[in-house]
Amino acid sequence: MRSKGKATKPSRMTWSDPDPDPELEPDTEPGSSEQEGSEASVRIGSSWRGSLRSGGRKRQGGTGGGGGGGGGGGRRRRQRSSSNKERSVRRLESNERERQRMHKLNNAFQALQEAIPHVKTDKKLSKIETLTLAKNYIKSLTGIILDMGACLPAEGVPSEDSAAKLLQCYQQHLEEEGEADLTQYLTHVHSLSQRS
DNA sequence: TAGGCCATCTGGTCCT
DNA sequence: AGGACCAGATGGCCTA
């Protein structure tokens, strides 16, 4: 069980709340406490974090599991030729880029959530819920498309004519099958709304 | 208060 | 070489 430390960092931003001040805690100096070849011990907020080595990366030439903690043994640090100040500046720039990257990722999650029916309005979905819901929605739509396979144009670029035919097919599908294909998806949506 | 979720920092690795 | 990507760590907020 990890501890839930005290409040030291500024209150966090949300997706829609663009970072007003990228300044970081002035006395943190990322990397400045790190001696060449020594164990890293950096200060984050008010707490000290010893030995970042163990937590490091796992991917070693491929996706998934791979190395695990094993790689930590003889891992070499990248040669550092720049000064502490230069490293600190690069770290801050890197942090900013990472923040922007995560904001873009969050925007994509937001867009995905808005693309899924029935979840726009009330409650904000968590990321895992968004992904799961999207998966189920895609599956249900796939089911519908497969059922309508006979109606789909065999080949070629879809024309206005084929689009109209597709719509007609879909309406016919709804008449015959109802929304059975969406049942699983809707059930999932319902269960989520029940929880909140 | 525990637990879930999130934002952010960080350093290693991959890619261009 | 530098940026992108990734995952671990940590702390804050919120809710049951």
Residues 132-171 (A) near nucleic chain C, CB < 7 A = none
Nucleotide nearest to A68 (CA to C1'): C7
Do the Cβ atoms of A133 and A119 come closer than 8 Å? yes
Domain chopping of chain A, boundaries? 76-115, 126-151+160-195
| pLDDT tens readout for residues A63-104 | 322 222 222 223 333 444 567 778 788 888 888 888 888 888
* Phi, then psi, of A95 in degrees rounded to 5: -60, -45
Q: Residue A42 CA to nucleotide B15 C1', Å? A: 28
The span from the CA of A21 to the CA of A10, in Å, is 11
**Protein residue closest to B1, using CA and C1':** A4
By the 10 Å C-beta count (0-12 exposed, 13-18 middle, 19+ buried), A145 is classed as: middle
Q: Residue A54 CA to nucleotide C16 C1', Å? A: 35
| pLDDT tens readout for residues A40-74 | 333 333 333 333 323 223 333 223 222 222 222 23
